[in-house]
Amino acid sequence: MEIKVPAVGESVMEALVARWLKQEGDAVAKDEPICEIETDKITLEIQADAAGVLNIVVPEGETVRIGTVIGNINEGAPAMAAPKPAEKPAAQPAEPPPAQPTKAAPGRETARETPPLAAEPHEEPPTSPAGRKLARELGIAADGVAGSGRGGRVTAEDLRRHEAESRREPAPEAKATPGPAPAAPSGLEAAPRPAPEASPAEPGRITRKPMSPLRKKIAQRLVSVRQNTAMLTTFNEADLTEVMQLRKRHGEHFLQRHNVKLGLMSFFIRACCEALVEFPEVNASIEGNDIVYHNYCDIGVAVGSEKGLVVPVLRNAERLTLAQIEQAIVEFGTRIRENRLELADLEGGTFTVSNGGIYGSLLSTPILNPPQSGVLGMHSIQERPVAREGQVVIRPMMYLALSYDHRIVDGKGAVGFLKRVKEYIEDPQELLLEG
């Protein structure tokens, strides 16, 4: 049975074979995940349509067209490839025996010991450790210097005198021989020179990896936003005292009732849905020479994953309760981790909410997700001194940022939208607690 790259959408023409979950020759069961592929939009697993033995045709890291056969399953065949890898380690112990005769050659050991002991000590004149160090620094061979110390020991003065004389005498010959330093007879000088030549090729300095299809698509879209939109950003800040108190008072009951925690994202999504009704241009997009206004709120929720930013869409978020929003977000996170997100989950959003505060961001400029005309950026909560009724008090504050396409949204509408979101967050009781 052939294993083919499945079609995941009309606009997706190729996929990367990211990872084989089974190895060549492994036995696989029906419906067992065997391969992971990546497209420029999603990552998904391919499951075995039958039980058998896996034969890999396309290795990891290759990009192929949709419909390409990347492997086969031999139905009913036993896993014959398993014993083969075991034979290779068994052949390796046969190699060490030829190396044993080298250890059993006592005559060679005695021959190695005697020449080094007889060669160097008699040729090298007595020199102090400081003198040997100075000789290395000056590039002088100590055996060519006449020692004036006790017992013919070469002193530091002898080395300096020899170095000064060698500079005077070979001066006429230096014209014919470029570079007196390389011509010095010292063998100590040769060691430092190869080091600079080997440094550029030093392993581990860089790691090169090909960009994944998802990362390529993200890069293209980010550049496209800068080139094809008139993106601006307006900022405000919200006092989260009321929201945090509501979560504290009702959080345990909410968890027991809906089996999900009451988070911040559901409050902001509901606030955005209400604000989008009042400022429909923020929920619009450009198609050719027309502005398309959406009478519904399909809110994209930016989620960071190991492979890049993914923005699944909450359909008709204006109809969802707080519990339904939180449950949908948890479900998206699970499906992203398990590579079960479908292409349909990522398409058709009209507005996006991105929470950079979970990574510690204090203030940032979110970037548009075309063809949408608006994206709300949430940030980390910090206790800051603020003025309330003529007094300075400490409150949990969050900076908010709205990036918008100025071709559709004027500054007045953008500021008004963000101000309305701020008001809903600071006084959520009447508006956000229906569910």
Q: Are residues 59 and 123 in the same domain?
A: no
The percentage of the chain sitting over the pLDDT mark of 90, rounded to a whole number, equals 39
Domain stop point among 23, 57, 92 = 92
320 and 404 fall within a common domain: yes
Note the pLDDT of residue 151.
65
User: Does residue 84 sit in the same domain as residue 120?
Assistant: no
Per annotation, catalytic residue among 31, 143, 253, 410: 410
Asked, for residue 193, whether it belongs to a domain, the answer is no
pTM over 0.85: no
Please give the backbone phi and psi of residue 65, each rounded to the nearest 5 degrees, phi first. Answer: -75, 155
Mean pLDDT, range 373-399, rounded to an integer:
96
Condensed to tens digits (0 to 9), the pLDDT of residues 387-435 reads: 999 999 999 999 999 999 999 999 999 999 999 999 999 998 866 554 4
Task: Based on the fold, state whether residues 263 and 370 are members of the same structural domain.
Answer: yes
Quick one: pLDDT at residue 343? 80
Say if residue 261's pLDDT is above 70.
Answer: yes
Domain with 111, as residue range(s), is 106-186
**410 catalytic, yes or no?**
yes
209 in any annotated domain: no
- Is 122 a residue of the active site? no
Burial zone of 44 (CB within 10 Å; 0-12 exposed, 13-18 middle, 19+ buried): buried
pLDDT exceeding 70 applies to what percent of the chain?
75
Sheet of 27-28, strand order: 2-4, 69-75, 52-56, 27-28
Averaged pLDDT, 101-124 = 44
Which residue is associated with the tokens 């992971």?
36
**Range 276-284 average pLDDT:** 97
Residues 150 and 271 in one domain: no
Instruction: Write down the pLDDT at residue 164.
Output: 74
Give me the CATH number covering residue 260: 3.30.559.10
Contacts of 260 (CB under 8 A, 6+ apart): 254, 323, 326, 327, 330
**310 - beta bridge partners?**
303
Q: Does residue 199 belong to any structural domain of this protein? A: no
- Please report which helix (H) or strand (E) contains residue 401, including its range: strand 391-405
For residue 131, tell me if it sits in a domain: yes
Q: 127 and 39, same structural domain?
A: no
Name residue, tokens 């930016």: 302
The domain total for the chain is 3
Question: Are residue 233 and residue 291 in the same domain, yes or no?
Answer: yes
Q: Are residues 259 and 389 in the same domain?
A: yes
Domain shared by 224 and 331, yes or no: yes
Q: Do 240 and 346 have their domain in common? A: yes
Instruction: Show which of 39, 63, 92 is a domain's final residue.
Output: 92
Selected catalytic residue, list 31, 143, 253, 406: 406
Same domain (yes/no): 299, 418: yes
CB 420 within 8 A of CB 428: no
Top mean pLDDT of 128-142, 222-236, 370-384 is at: 370-384
